[in-house]
Structure formats: C-alpha cells, structure tokens
Amino acid sequence: MSDVITVGLDLAKNVFQVHGADGIGQAVLRKKLRRAQVLEFFSQLPRCVVAMEACGGAHFWAREIGKLGHDVRLIPPAYVKPFVKRQKNDMADAEAICEAAVRPSMRFVPVKSEDVQGAAMVFRVRELLIRQRTQAINALRGHLTEFGEVVPQGAANAKRLSAIVEDASSGLPDEARATLLVLIETKTRLDDQIVKLNAEISRRAKENEVARRLMTIPGIGPLIATALVALAPPPETFRRGRDFAAWLGLVPRQHSTGGKQRLGATTKMGERSLRRLLIIGANSVIIKRHVHPLARPGTWLGGMLLRKPPMLVRVALANKMARIVWALMAKNEDYRAPTAVA
C-alpha cells in the first residue's frame, strides 16, 4: 500500500468501496470495507489524497479521516459522473472519484465543521416544519371542499378554515369535525415550533457580526442573513461575486455553440434554500417599489421594472444581492446604497 497516492472512497451506509492509484494513475488497491473498518484501514494507510463525493455523511468522514493526517477532498457528484465508465457500481464509482480527484481543474467542496453543520440544521428543520404545516392546511382545505366549504389558498386563510371546523352551526358532520380538529391541533403545534425557531434565528442574527452587516442590504432580514452565514461557503472559495451568484444558480443556463450565445432559464445550481430566500428578499423590495428608494426613477431597479417582466426582475435583483453579499463578506465592508442618476 506504500504506492498509493490517491484514494477514491465510495461512501455508503454499511459497505464502502476503496480504489487506490499510484503516481501515474494505475490502480494498485481495490477493497471493500464495512463501516467499522473504515477508520482502522485509513489509520494504517500512508498519508495520501482521499477523495469522496459530497453526499450525506461525507463531511463527517472527511473530518475523521482528516484527523489521521490524510488530505481529504470532497467532489460534487455531478463532477464525478463523467468519469464513470459504462456500468455503474460501487467499484466503478470509487474509480471515477479517484480519477476526478487528480484533475487540475477540478473544483472541491470545503469540509464543514460540526459547528457549521449544527448552525445550518435550524434552517433544515424550519423548512421541514413549514412543509408539514402547508400539508396540514392543504389537507384541511381539501376535506372541507367535500362539504361545500371553499376557502382561497394561502396560509393567511388558515384561520378561516379553523373557524369553519370549530363553528357548530357550519353543518359539518360530527364525525368529520372530530377528525379535522386533529389537523387544526397539528397545525397549531407546528406554528408554535416555527415561532420558536424564528426566535432562535433572530437571536443568532443579532449576535453575529457578519449577519448584522448583511442585514443592512435592502431585502435581507435576520432569516436570510443568518442563512447566508450558516449555509454559504467561505467567501474566499469564489474569485468574485459573479462566481458566488453562479454557484447559487441565479444566472442563465447557457446552451451556446458556433459562436451563437443562447441563454435560457436560471441554472438552479448550488444551495436551493439560499437561492429561494434571496428571490423572496428581492420580491420584498419590488413589492414596495413605489416607496422604496432603490426603485426610484433613474435607478437600476427602476429602469428594469419599466422594461422587463416582474419575475425576471426578481431574479436579476437576487443576483445583484448575491454579489453584494459576497463583497461584504469578502472585504468586511458595510453596505453603501447607490445614488440615483438625475
């Protein structure tokens, strides 16, 4: 095993596949490992480059294997797929990871610490609870429709749904009312839990210096600022703000050939939660365009609103916000509002 320079590790729940290559890329090691054998195997292996796909559990294994002295690299799965030869199996995947790791132009994912992963968990749990609340509201609306009670969509109308169920004169059968009250109780518990998570996010935003600076950007509040601090990679990962916006998927998808540029919808790459939050933040600015200083005549946003469709303007503003976010995080500066052209 002394000839091993690069190792491709295909992660799994229980059975892991190892592919080792020497300095010229020749395979010198192929081995299956059980979960309990992984750390023992790498503790006996000479220091080398260990590459894995950035998937579930990858950051945990990267931290543990890195403690043994190895140079750990995480690769996005989409960048590994082109190196898979013909049939897909664990052995072929490990070999593809090993080959992708030595490419000079390969891009790697920074290894997250336990604190960073823990800070990001509040947003994952909050999204899950919001989806469950939406499911409960939609189920309640659908069941009431069966009895001729039609209420418009939207969480803002949930109180009307609850009022119909709790009203004894609404004409609902007692058997149905007892069941629908379970949905209302579920929604109430979810509301309380979401409020607690929102309070925790606000507390973190006040305590974090970077988040406080980001909240000075129009359209970015405590939720978006804290999410950017917790979920976005370090600013030095990107050369410029344009690269950060591209990572978020806020740039047009290219399908160009023969010197002809063809641009489509947004790529939707990168962190989905951050992209959605930035678009929501941009929408909050556009909703107040009649009184917001950024949308006054002569400003960039004011001109865009006159020429382009609203949704396109939202995405374009979210792209601009992402670039500003990167600049503030990379240069440790405060936000400076642009001046309108006379």
* Rounded Cα–Cα distance for residues 207 and 177 (Å): 45
Confidence of residue 265 (pLDDT cuts 50, 70, 90): confident
What's the whole-number mean pLDDT along residues 130-138? 95
Confidence of residue 341 (pLDDT cuts 50, 70, 90): low
Residue 125 and residue 193 in one domain:
yes
Residue 66 and residue 21 in one domain:
yes
* Rounded Cα–Cα distance for residues 44 and 232 (Å): 35
Confidence of residue 128 (pLDDT cuts 50, 70, 90): very high
Residue 273 and residue 308 in one domain:
yes
What's the whole-number mean pLDDT along residues 297-314? 85
Helix (H) or strand (E) holding 26: none
- Name the more confident of 317 and 333: 317
What's the whole-number mean pLDDT along residues 177-184? 92
Confidence of residue 180 (pLDDT cuts 50, 70, 90): very high
Residue 167 and residue 220 in one domain:
no
Query: So what's the pLDDT on residue 142?
Result: 92
Residue 203 and residue 229 in one domain:
no
Query: So what's the pLDDT on residue 294?
Result: 78
* Rounded Cα–Cα distance for residues 301 and 243 (Å): 22
Confidence of residue 51 (pLDDT cuts 50, 70, 90): very high
Residue 220 and residue 200 in one domain:
no
What's the whole-number mean pLDDT along residues 33-61? 94
Phi, psi of 140 (to 5 degrees): -65, -45
Show the domain range for 70.
6-101
Q: Has residue 109 got a pLDDT over 60?
A: yes
List, in sequence order, the alpha helices (H) in the chain.
Answer: 38-44, 58-66, 77-80, 90-101, 114-145, 158-166, 174-207, 209-214, 222-231, 241-247, 272-287, 300-307, 310-331
In a domain, 287, yes or no: yes
Residue 144 and residue 87 in one domain:
no
Query: What residues does 96 pair with on adjacent strands?
Result: none
In a domain, 106, yes or no: no
Phi/psi-derived region of residue 232, left when phi > 0, alpha when psi is between -120 and 50, beta in every other case: beta
Query: So what's the pLDDT on residue 170?
Result: 82
CB count in 10 Å sphere of residue 311: 11
What's the whole-number mean pLDDT along residues 212-235? 93
Query: So what's the pLDDT on residue 1?
Result: 60
Please answer whether residues 74 and 54 qualify as being in contact, where contact means their C-beta atoms are separated by less than 8 angstroms.
yes
* Rounded Cα–Cα distance for residues 9 and 321 (Å): 38
Query: So what's the pLDDT on residue 333?
Result: 84
Percent of the chain surpassing pLDDT 90: 65
Query: So what's the pLDDT on residue 340?
Result: 53
Residue 74 and residue 20 in one domain:
yes
Quote the number of domains for the chain. Answer: 3
* Rounded Cα–Cα distance for residues 56 and 11 (Å): 9
Helix (H) or strand (E) holding 336: none
Residue 288 and residue 199 in one domain:
no
* Rounded Cα–Cα distance for residues 161 and 180 (Å): 10
What does DSSP say about strands 15-21 and 6-10: parallel, antiparallel, or unpaired? antiparallel
Query: So what's the pLDDT on residue 203?
Result: 94
Query: So what's the pLDDT on residue 320?
Result: 93
* Burial (CB count <10 Å: 0-12, 13-18, 19+), residue 291: exposed
Query: So what's the pLDDT on residue 338?
Result: 67
Q: Please provide the size of the chain in residues.
A: 342
Q: Has residue 292 got a pLDDT over 80?
A: no
The mean of the pLDDT values for the chain is: 90
Q: Has residue 82 got a pLDDT over 90?
A: yes
Assign 3-class secondary structure to 262-321.
CEEEECCCCCHHHHHHHHHHHHHHHHCCCCCHHHCCCCHHHHHHHHCCHHHHHHHHHHHH
Residue 282 and residue 322 in one domain:
yes
What's the whole-number mean pLDDT along residues 296-306? 82
Residue 48 and residue 128 in one domain:
no
Nearest C-alpha neighbor of 188 from the set 228, 129, 235, 229: 129
* Rounded Cα–Cα distance for residues 318 and 76 (Å): 24
In a domain, 136, yes or no: yes
CATH number of residue 53's parent domain: 3.30.420.40
| pTM for the structure as a whole | 0.83
What's the whole-number mean pLDDT along residues 126-134? 95
What's the whole-number mean pLDDT along residues 278-284? 93
> Domain end: 101, 128, 156, which one?
101
Query: So what's the pLDDT on residue 296?
Result: 78
Query: What residues does 53 pair with on adjacent strands?
Result: 75
In a domain, 337, yes or no: no
Residue 129 and residue 187 in one domain:
yes
Note the pLDDT tens digit of each residue in 145-167.
998 888 888 888 899 999 999 88
